Amino acid sequence: MRALLAAFATLGVLLLGLAPAATASGTDGPATTPVTAAGTEASGSEAGGTGETYVIGTDTTFAPFEFRQGGDLVGIDIDLMEAIAEDQGFEVEWRSLGFNAALQALDSNQVDGVIAGMSITEERQEVYDFSEPYFTGTVTLAVNEGDESEISDWEDLAGKQVVVKTGSISEEVANERQDEIGFEVTALDQTTTLVESVKSGNADALIDDYPVIAYGVQQGSGLVTVGEQVEAGDYGFAVNQGQNPELLEKFNTGLQELRASGEYDEILNEYLGAEDDGVDPSSFWGLIVTSLPSLLNGLGNTLLVTGISFVLAMVLGLAFGFMKIARNPVLRGIAVTFISIFRGTPILVWAFFFYFGLPPLIGVPVNIWVAGVMTLTFNGAAYIAEIVRGAVQSVDPGQAEASRSLGLGHGKTMQRVVLPQAFKMMTPSLINQLVIMLKDSSLLLAIGFAELLYQAQQIYAANFRVTEVLLIAALLYFIAITALTQLANYVDRKVNR
pLDDT tens across the length of the chain (497 residues): 454 444 445 444 444 444 333 333 333 333 333 333 433 333 333 333 356 899 999 987 778 898 877 667 889 999 999 999 999 999 999 998 878 888 989 998 889 999 998 889 888 999 999 999 999 888 999 999 889 889 999 999 999 999 998 877 888 899 999 989 999 999 987 778 888 899 888 999 999 988 888 887 877 778 899 999 988 789 999 999 999 999 999 999 999 999 999 999 999 988 876 554 444 445 677 778 778 888 999 999 999 999 999 999 999 999 999 899 888 999 999 999 999 999 999 999 999 999 989 988 998 889 999 999 999 999 999 999 999 988 888 887 777 777 777 777 766 777 677 777 888 888 888 989 999 999 999 999 888 898 999 888 878 777 777 888 899 999 999 999 999 889 888 887 877 66
Task: Note the pLDDT of residue 70.
Answer: 65
What distance in Å separates the CA atoms of residue 38 and residue 40, rounded to the nearest whole number? 6
Which of these, 221, 293, 278, lies nearest to 465 by C-alpha position? 221
Dump strand ranges (E) for 36-108. Answer: 52-58, 67-69, 72-74, 90-96
300 and 409 co-located in one domain: yes
Q: Are 384 and 310 in contact (CB under 8 A)?
A: no
Assigned domain for 154 exists: yes
In a shared domain, residues 202 and 74: no
Residues 181 and 168 occupy one common structural domain: yes
Confidence at residue 273, expressed as pLDDT on a 0 to 100 scale: 67
Number of domains in the chain: 3
Let me know whether 243 and 196 are in one domain. Answer: no
Q: Are 99 and 62 in contact (CB under 8 A)?
A: yes
Domain contains 37: no
Q: Where residue 157 sits, what CATH number does that domain have?
A: 3.40.190.10
Q: At 359, which CATH number?
A: 1.10.3720.10
Residues near 269 by beta carbon (within 8 Å), at least 6 away in sequence: none
Pick the last residue of a domain from 215, 245, 272. 272
Measured distance CA(271)–CA(459) in Å, rounded: 17
Same domain for 360 and 454, yes or no, is: yes
Task: Tell me whether residue 67 is in a domain.
Answer: yes
Same domain membership, residue 362 and residue 224: no
Residues 298 and 335 in one domain: yes
Q: Compute how many other C-beta atoms are within 10 angstroms of the C-beta atom of residue 221.
A: 25
- Position 62 scores a pLDDT of 79
Q: Which residues contact 441 (CB under 8 A, 6 or more apart)?
A: 302, 305, 306, 309, 372, 376, 449, 451
Kind of pairing between the strands at 128-130 and 238-240: antiparallel
Whether residue 72 lies inside any domain: the answer is: yes
| In a shared domain, residues 344 and 425 | yes
Task: Give residue 168's pLDDT.
Answer: 79
Same-domain check for residues 205 and 97: no
Q: Which of 272, 291, 325 is the last residue of a domain?
A: 272
User: Is residue 34 assigned to a domain?
Assistant: no
Domain residue limits at 408: 2-24+283-495
Q: Do 295 and 255 sit in the same domain of this protein?
A: no
Same domain (yes/no): 466, 441: yes
Give a yes or no: residue 345 inside a domain.
yes
CB of 145 within 8 A of CB of 223? yes
